[in-house]
Amino acid sequence: MFIKYKFLKIIIFLLVINSIITFSEEFKIIKSKEFLTVWKNVGDVRYVSSKKDFIIIYHYGKIRTKISFIDNNIVHVQISNNNKFSEKSYAVINNNKFKDFIYSKDKDYIYLSTNTLTLKISKKNFNIEIYRGEKLISKDIEIKWNGNRFYNKKLILNNSKYYGFGEKTGDLVKNGFQMKMWNNDSYDYDKNTDPLYMSIPFFIEFNKEYCNGILFDNTYQTYFDIGYTEKDKYYFGALDGELNYYFISGNNPKEVIKSYTNLTGRINLPPKWLFGYHQSRYSYYPQKKVIELAKSFRDKNIPADAIYLDIDYMDRYKSFTIDNNKFPDFKKMIDELHNMGFKVVSIIDPGIKMKSGYNVYDSGKELNVFLKNDKEELIKEKVWPGLAVFPDFTNKTVKEWWGKQYIPLINLGIDGFWNDMNEPSILNSKSNTLPLNTLHTDFNKKSFHTKIHNVYGQEMARASLEGLNSHRPNYRNFILSRSGYAGIQKYAGVWTGDNRSNFEHLALSIPMLLNLGLSGVPISGADVGGFITSPSKELFIRWMQLGIFYPYFRNHTADNTNPQEPWAFNEETTKIIKKYINLRYKLIPYIYDYIYESSKNGIPLMRALFLEYTNDEKLYTIEDEFLFGDSLLITPVIKENTFKREVYFPKGNNWINFYTNEVYQGGKTYLINAPLDIIPIFIKENAIIPMQDIVQYIDENENNSPLYINIYGDEDTNHILYLDDGISKNYLKGVFTNIEIKKQKNKISFNIKNINYIPKNKNLYIVLKNKSVKNILINNSKLNEIKNKQEKGIGFYYKNKDTIIKLKFFIKNIEIQYF
Ligand code: GLC
């Protein structure tokens, strides 16, 4: 009787706590210490039921644990306090049920093993240890519940370092950090702001011997404490939902990213123009000014691929409309821009102005697409157009309706779309977002905003992309999104929101983008030059120099700032900036090859150093240097009034100065000159870097630049070259070319894997960098020396210190020998 009474009291207590938590504490970061009180253990194992592809462990009450595998290296753990397990995920697209595991148990433990992993689960005081071979790689300390809240605390083993967590400020390494996931319009954030616009509850746990990844697939407000409260422990938890995580094991971080992106999806190849230079501001108008802007680029011979139209192109900020006063002939403007080789990206916000007569609102109202609360009241909140209503993007019918809204804009010729304010952000409200009692479609039921908030932006991007794909099916539709959740990469590229024009933000952008890349998001950029306020000449130069090495290179600024185009300062500044934009364009073949790689295995173009050099401990914390692909080391100047910097070179190979050809030894630090017109760039000795001529936009002359295959060093190396038309989806039908270039000793072989796309310009130059050779054999026959590039036919010639082999693009394997 007494026990029953006590039990009832606990239940009442939990219910009260639960309601308090759900509706009043959402926005506070939960202080760790607070969390460690009044918490109850999940409890002992009472009973195990084993099925072909999962086991279920019964604890006390309704607490259950389900464990399954995705493959030999991925374990899926779900712990629920209500006897049910979620089947659907907003992040995971590959939820294979893997049956090749062995289940066994003894008096004290349950064992589950695959070829690579063993889980040892203690029956008393339930907790999980994971072994890779003999090595302990993960160990639970406790799993506790408090009403609907819970957390899982684990040991930091082997001095692991923690990375990822999506879009986060602060250092590259997250040991000592406490973070929250709750998408937020963090206008004017700084290096301590948390959370930001996007929630990617995924992290990498890395040390010299192995690497793990954990995707905590819970869309409620989640939090992470990585050795902040207790130095040798980390924990993650949520305010509600399931303790639902995927534990990924690998030998190294690349294997983990590959597995993670296999789970959550990888990028579709974007249009190639995405990798050119993009010019944006809030906002370019009227029509005449946009055309003038485009002309200035062409007149000044500064390459650029896209111009952005921010909210002022709309009629009073109504999504999917055009302001005909500012843009009297919008279609003509787009055509003119296209004729000059520009693509146009326009902004679309989710808040739909409540105004009858506005067809998006009217049709949406008729179809009942807008969100309501649990009292059936329409949710109306203030955003740019005034009072607005919000589509229920997680609903299939709503998605289709939303997708159709793009048709008129596609017909006008808009090339790409920019989804903003999709956290969703609300102006002038305390919470910054929709009321928590807003009800959303959640697969086949309704859920409160507390659950859907973190996926709202991602589902908007998804609805946009799916709509565009169904209405423009053979075009590589591109969405840029401010908000997102785990897996955003398959729907959109991202930018890091409203930063500020200062050196702190320039520096911060590097660890932010590196961690995004480690979190499966390879297409990302920060507003180059800074969004809020205006950069000094020096800051602008430094930022443009760095920006050419962002995967997504866009200059964007706010509405009340100075001009921020490449020529906004004096001639000398323009000259320096032009030199670097030109370099970006020369590097397009190299960039595209790595983007292709990202689409295949999720590895980002912009790479933290430890991703390539897992043994060099000095690199684990470096966040002011990074790799661009695997062969270029970028070491930007991130401080004002600084014209030299120390560069630590990764151990294992030598590095060649891009400008001077000077060679530096790996594993050492050098002081490098970096006057204002120089961003130090180094090439890995023994590398293959494909480049092209400068073009004014990516598909100028239909991609008609010859290819230059630059070969550095004497040792063996290889590179995968990827070519396609850069715009259509024909590559999905096999219309692409894939060639493995292998250099071994004095032999270079081109092994064709696929050859269904032949570049328009059939000239190909193989550049033996800093090498003068006398004899060249192509498939064993001797090649003649020619005077220079201009001489007709094939042959080799010398330029500067290089030997250049001029060839015609080939469709069979070839082998080149030189001596
Ligand atoms: C938000 C965006 C910014 C945009 C502005 C106006 O602040 O982050 O990029 O320019 O809205 O649309």
Q: What is the DSSP string of 660-705?
A: T--EE-TT-EEEEE--TT---EEEESSEEEEEE---SSTTGGGT-P
Among this protein's residues, is 349 annotated catalytic? no
Mean per-residue pLDDT, 611-628: 97
* Alpha carbon of 747 to ligand 1 centroid (Å): 52
Helices 449-471 and 396-405: crossing angle in degrees, nearest 10, is 50
Mean per-residue pLDDT, 509-518: 98
**Residue 283: cis peptide before it, omega within 30 degrees of 0:** yes
**Ligand 1 probe mutation, 197, 531, 552, most atoms within 8 A of CB:** 531
Do the Cβ atoms of 726 and 749 come closer than 8 Å? no
Mean per-residue pLDDT, 305-320: 98
Mean per-residue pLDDT, 725-754: 97
CA distance 317 to 355: 12
**Res. 14: pLDDT tops 70:** no
Mean of the per-residue pLDDT values of the chain: 94
| Neighbour-count burial of 374, counting CB atoms closer than 10 A to its CB (0-12 exposed, 13-18 middle, 19+ buried) | exposed
Question: Which uninterrupted H or E stretch holds 405?
Answer: helix 396-405
**Res. 25: pLDDT tops 80:** no
Mean per-residue pLDDT, 464-475: 98
* Alpha carbon of 332 to ligand 1 centroid (Å): 26
**Res. 27: pLDDT tops 80:** no
Q: Given pLDDT bands bounded at 50, 70 and 90, which one contains residue 35?
A: very low
The length of the chain, given as a count of residues: 819
| Neighbour-count burial of 88, counting CB atoms closer than 10 A to its CB (0-12 exposed, 13-18 middle, 19+ buried) | exposed
Do the Cβ atoms of 249 and 210 come closer than 8 Å? yes
Nearest CA-CA partner of 345 in 295, 426, 290, 400? 290
CA distance to 8, 24, 46, 591, per residue, from 18 (Å): 15, 10, 26, 50
Residue with tokens 């919008």: 330
| Neighbour-count burial of 790, counting CB atoms closer than 10 A to its CB (0-12 exposed, 13-18 middle, 19+ buried) | exposed
Among this protein's residues, is 616 annotated catalytic? no
* Alpha carbon of 420 to ligand 1 centroid (Å): 7
CA distance to 694, 705, 708, 810, per residue, from 762 (Å): 17, 9, 11, 8
Among this protein's residues, is 423 annotated catalytic? yes
CA distance 799 to 767: 9
Any idea which of 93-97, 548-552, 771-775 has the lowest mean pLDDT?
Answer: 93-97
For 76, the 3-state DSSP assignment is strand
pLDDT, tens digit (0-9, with 9 covering 90-100), for 475-493: 999 999 999 999 999 999 9
**Residue 424: cis peptide before it, omega within 30 degrees of 0:** yes
CA distance to 153, 155, 227, 235, per residue, from 230 (Å): 10, 10, 5, 10
Nearest CA-CA partner of 460 in 497, 435, 488, 431? 488
- Tell me, what's the pLDDT at 703? 60
**Res. 760: pLDDT tops 90:** no
CA distance 482 to 680: 30
**Res. 5: pLDDT tops 60:** no
**Ligand 1 probe mutation, 421, 425, 505, 560, most atoms within 8 A of CB:** 421
**Residue with CA closest to ligand 1 atom 7:** 498
Among residues 26, 420, 597, 623, the one annotated as catalytic is 420
- Tell me, what's the pLDDT at 288? 98
Nearest CA-CA partner of 749 in 673, 818, 647? 818
**Res. 6: pLDDT tops 90:** no
**Residue with CA closest to ligand 1 atom 12:** 311
Mean per-residue pLDDT, 26-37: 44
User: How many CB atoms neighbour CB 716 within 10 A?
Assistant: 11
- Tell me, what's the pLDDT at 95? 85
For 296, the 3-state DSSP assignment is helix
**Six-digit token pair at 756?**
């269904």
**Ligand 1 probe mutation, 310, 314, 383, 556, most atoms within 8 A of CB:** 310
Do the Cβ atoms of 768 and 686 come closer than 8 Å? no
Side-chain half-sphere exposure of 572, counting CA atoms within 13 A:
4
**Residue with CA closest to ligand 1 atom 3:** 498
**Res. 20: pLDDT tops 50:** no
Among residues 349, 498, 593, 612, the one annotated as catalytic is 498
User: How many CB atoms neighbour CB 701 within 10 A?
Assistant: 13
pLDDT, tens digit (0-9, with 9 covering 90-100), for 775-793: 999 999 999 999 999 999 9
CA distance 510 to 704: 33
Q: Measured between alpha carbons, how far apart are the two ends of the chain, in Å?
A: 94
* Alpha carbon of 306 to ligand 1 centroid (Å): 17
Mean per-residue pLDDT, 734-743: 97
- Tell me, what's the pLDDT at 762? 86
**Res. 128: pLDDT tops 60:** yes
- Tell me, what's the pLDDT at 552? 98
CA distance to 44, 62, 63, 66, 794, per residue, from 58 (Å): 8, 8, 7, 9, 74
Going from N- to C-terminal start, the domains of the chain cover: 2-30
CA distance 436 to 368: 20
Nearest CA-CA partner of 708 in 776, 759, 647, 783? 759
Give the rounded percent of residues in the chain with a pLDDT score beyond 70. 95
**Residue 563: cis peptide before it, omega within 30 degrees of 0:** no
Mean per-residue pLDDT, 680-690: 97
Point out the ligand 1 atom lying closest to the alpha carbon of residue 187: 7
Mean per-residue pLDDT, 344-353: 98
* Alpha carbon of 282 to ligand 1 centroid (Å): 7
Side-chain half-sphere exposure of 554, counting CA atoms within 13 A:
29
pLDDT, tens digit (0-9, with 9 covering 90-100), for 653-677: 999 999 999 999 999 999 999 999 9
**Res. 19: pLDDT tops 50:** no
Nearest CA-CA partner of 747 in 773, 770, 729? 773
Do the Cβ atoms of 201 and 236 come closer than 8 Å? yes
pLDDT, tens digit (0-9, with 9 covering 90-100), for 568-602: 999 999 999 999 999 999 999 999 999 999 999 99
- Tell me, what's the pLDDT at 60? 85
Give the rounded percent of residues in the chain with a pLDDT score beyond 90. 92
User: How many CB atoms neighbour CB 519 within 10 A?
Assistant: 31
Mean per-residue pLDDT, 529-540: 98
User: How many CB atoms neighbour CB 479 within 10 A?
Assistant: 24
Q: Which long-range contacts (CB under 8 A, 24 or more apart) does 649-652 make?
A: 649/682, 650/609, 650/612, 650/613, 650/616, 650/619, 651/613, 651/615, 651/616, 651/618, 652/613, 652/615, 652/616
**Res. 306: pLDDT tops 90:** yes
**Six-digit token pair at 390?**
């919000």
**Res. 17: pLDDT tops 60:** no
Strands of the sheet with 681-684, listed across from one edge: 606-607, 626-628, 632-634, 681-684, 655-657, 663-664
DSSP letters, 728-770, are BSGGGGT--EEEEEEEETTEEEEEEEEE----SS-EEEEEETT
* Alpha carbon of 528 to ligand 1 centroid (Å): 14
Q: Residues with Cβ within 6 A of ligand 1? A: 282, 310-311, 347, 420, 482, 497-498, 556
CA distance 343 to 273: 8
Residue with tokens 């423009």: 472
CA distance 415 to 678: 34
Cβ-proximal residues to 666 (8 Å cutoff; 6+ apart), any chain: 649, 650, 651, 652, 653, 654, 655
Side-chain half-sphere exposure of 623, counting CA atoms within 13 A:
19
pLDDT, tens digit (0-9, with 9 covering 90-100), for 503-513: 999 999 999 99
Cβ-proximal residues to 729 (8 Å cutoff; 6+ apart), any chain: 473, 474, 475, 476
- Tell me, what's the pLDDT at 100? 96
Q: Given pLDDT bands bounded at 50, 70 and 90, which one contains residue 702?
A: low
Cβ-proximal residues to 592 (8 Å cutoff; 6+ apart), any chain: 272, 275, 722, 726
**Six-digit token pair at 622?**
């470096």
CA distance 576 to 545: 9
Helices 359-367 and 396-405: crossing angle in degrees, nearest 10, is 160
Question: Which uninterrupted H or E stretch holds 103?
Answer: strand 102-105
In the 8-state DSSP scheme, what is residue 556? -
Point out the ligand 1 atom lying closest to the alpha carbon of residue 283: 10
Point out the ligand 1 atom lying closest to the alpha carbon of residue 349: 12
- Tell me, what's the pLDDT at 428? 83
**Res. 179: pLDDT tops 90:** yes
Mean per-residue pLDDT, 216-236: 98
Nearest CA-CA partner of 640 in 506, 508, 512, 533? 506
**Res. 23: pLDDT tops 80:** no
* Alpha carbon of 445 to ligand 1 centroid (Å): 33
- Tell me, what's the pLDDT at 773? 96
